[in-house]
Chain A
């Protein structure tokens, strides 16, 4: 066994190509990973976080801030932007120098790994979780002359939850020490996380400095895309408005919005190959991309199922109607299936074939099934609403 095997992506032999046309350029600019020049529509939040951290650094004290908001509202991006600006300010000696470290709950195998990562990023030493905790404890509670302020960003805070909550407790307790000079910024998705999962002594240390990021409105989304594209003329006005209105109505997720725009440029490129269009992404392309992203795949799956699979779904619904329940055994459904076969003039299938049909539907999650070793006694439930199934079956 290779002892130190680290998986890695093979290095690329050719350099990445330069964008050839407008659409490709737009696609690169719209990619989620490309860092925008500025963060529009988050000026207020930016200012709040900036002044909070700046005041703590200048005073040489510590504090906690809790930032919440649904995914794709720019929480992490805003904090990173703040840190970039502060770093710049420190470089030009406007504020005292500080160290910035970042940990992510999702990237840890175990909540206690947080100590190890913090210690490694602060000092470069490696230690076990317990040892690292005691070292950090000592570092933050003892006075030391010429100690720099530390800004710690904890992303995905809810994953640091342990049964005794000692990781969270320590993270929020260190800033309250006199000599700690630690600022902790925590990011999570739900607003009421401190009240829901934290015990009182942890929640009280987190304090009341809270900030919530509202979902983007359609105007803001439109502005974000415009600022990303930055004078690259690739979209029609109406198309952009449609995308942003649709996304704002559903979730207000900027990442989703960018994904749809990128998909629309791809569709536009495909259709341009067929017939010479204007070269801009129009309404029809955006509509197609929106349909691809938002329409339920279950209905398509039912539409494309085989004759007997569709018949089986009809038998399931017929049996549910007869029983007045949302659950039936395979045996009961199969009787209905055979009756339906006779009505449709199809050759009735055997029990094994029926089970195969049922379990295939279960494997693509149209049905919810019990383990197959129960045989004909396994219970069948629908994973989609009956109306969806009926709509899909009726459409053809």
Chain B
């Protein structure tokens, strides 16, 4: 392992850092070189970007903690107002006395003023670091915050460096009025070999390293094509390991019998991809299923299977009518819903732009009149247009099964869209024994 080397820090501290950062030696080395020796001035702002779980926060945390540098780590998600951000920075640099000096709703200049006062009392002997996690949220705050943070060193005249961490590239951050350009540093994704190396580190103590490593190998073989997220893979590895060990505990196979172990675990992992990975079944449920021998995994209905909604009788028909109005062209209504229509063929009936399926283009808006017309032709019995029918329409809107478009006219001619899927509407129409497929233009 290539050790980190830097003249400003002790050898053993660097050794400890290197141990905690597997496969990130290059990036840590670059950062160390940028940071320089503790008392030297560093670059005003560094922007680090990389995909989720590529070790951005971890590397920064380990470096700053192990080398004992003064730092403030701020998550921009938590800081809903800039006041919280300023408070946290002052708190971790100068203690709570400084943080309490901030007025109730501080402006940027308040922060800079207090920072300067405080740092003239306790000047920096080492570079101070402000680490901003999820920096993309800074774009939505005041327009002057991001440019000011980028040149904070200049503003407060202190040895301070701002490090921004984000999953988004710098190009979409740049304010339109220009700003001080930070140094850009990319954290590349982990390769398959690196993932294997990192995941193999947290092995179970009662099994050998090779055994766990072969398990990780199988896991990556199944999941690597869909998921490269270290956190997700680690979670899956922890969940499924007990299943992998089962034949061993029963005494059926030895540790070295890789093929049999693979035969045992592979279908199990494939099922996990469809259930646990999509969060259809929670991890707790998954563990319970594994313990219950007789019950097959995946028998339990997942979250998405619970889409069945109980609706009143006429609401169901209203929803069906809305679906038909949304996905059928209005010109075809006569043919579907009138008794004595002329015989029209689909081929010469088609307009040029209607050749693509409406189900690919999404629902179209329709007026209330058309919804009611279709509703009356779909329902067999005679229904009076009472208040309850109209209130059911608006309650379908509040249930988000319908959405109202164009909010300009609420009473006169409101327009709606149907916001349910084909599977859902099929299930609904089955309960009222209505064959919706016969009425859908796309499926003729």
Given contacts A1-B103, A373-B139, contact A355 B176 (CB under 8 A): no
Contact B169 A359 (CB under 8 A): no
Q: State whether the Cβ of A363 lies closer than 8 Å to any Cβ in chain B.
A: yes
B251 at the interface (CB under 8 A from A): no
- Once the chains bind, are B172 and A372 in contact (CB under 8 Å)? yes
Q: Which residues of A contact B177 (CB under 8 A)?
A: 363
Is B174 an interface position by the 8 A CB rule?
yes
Q: Are A372 and B175 in contact (CB under 8 A)?
A: yes
Q: CA A355 – CA B171 in complex, angstroms?
A: 7
Q: Would A359 and B172 count as touching, CB distance under 8 A? A: no
Q: Decide yes or no: A372 and B176 within 8 Å by CB, A355-B171, A356-B171 being known contacts.
A: yes
Decide if A359 touches B176 in the complex (CB within 8 Å). Answer: yes
A1 and B100 alpha carbons, distance in the complex (Å): 11
B312 interfacial contact with A, CB 8 Å? no
A356 to B173, CA, bound (A): 11
Check B7 for interface membership: any CB of A closer than 8 A.
Answer: no
**B110 contacts which chain A residues (CB < 8 A)?**
1
- Residues in B with CB closer than 8 Å to A371 are 176
Contact with A along B242-281 (1 / 0, CB 8 A): 0000000000000000000000000000000000000000
Do B178 and A372 touch across chains, with their CB atoms under 8 A apart?
no
Chain B residues closer than 8 Å to A363, beta-carbon distance: 176-178
CB neighbours of A352 from chain B (8 A):
169-171
Q: Is the CB of B169 within 8 A of A362?
A: no
CB distance from A353 to the nearest CB of B (A): 10
Q: Chain B's interface: helix, strand, loop or mixed, by majority?
A: loop
CB distance from A222 to the nearest CB of B (A): 42
Complex Cα spacing A360 to B178, Å: 7
Interface string of B175-209 (1 = CB under 8 A from A): 11110000000000000000000000000000000
Check A143 for interface membership: any CB of B closer than 8 A: no
Q: How far is the CB of A308 from chain B (nearest CB, A)?
A: 15
Contacting residues, chain A, for B176 (C-beta < 8 A): 359, 362-363, 369, 371-372
Q: A307 contacts the other chain (Cβ, under 8 Å)?
A: no
Closest approach, in angstroms, between the C-beta of B103 and any C-beta of chain A? Answer: 6
Q: Which residues of A contact B173 (CB under 8 A)?
A: 372-373
With both chains docked as a complex, state the minimum distance between the C-beta of A109 and any C-beta of chain B, in angstroms. Answer: 17
Contacts of A372 in B (CB 8 A): 171-176
Residue of B nearest to A371 (CB): B176
Q: Flag whether A207 is at the interface (Cβ < 8 A).
A: no
Measured CB to CB, the residues of B under 8 A from A are 103, 110, 139, 169-178
Query: What are 16 contact pairs spanning A and B, CB under 8 A?
Result: A1-B103, A352-B169, A352-B170, A355-B171, A355-B174, A356-B171, A356-B174, A359-B178, A360-B178, A363-B176, A369-B176, A372-B171, A372-B172, A372-B176, A373-B139, A374-B172
Give 19 new A-B contacts, CB below 8 A, not counting A369-B176, A372-B171, A375-B171: A352-B169, A352-B171, A355-B171, A355-B174, A356-B171, A356-B174, A359-B174, A359-B176, A360-B178, A362-B176, A363-B176, A363-B178, A371-B176, A372-B172, A372-B173, A372-B176, A373-B172, A373-B173, A374-B172
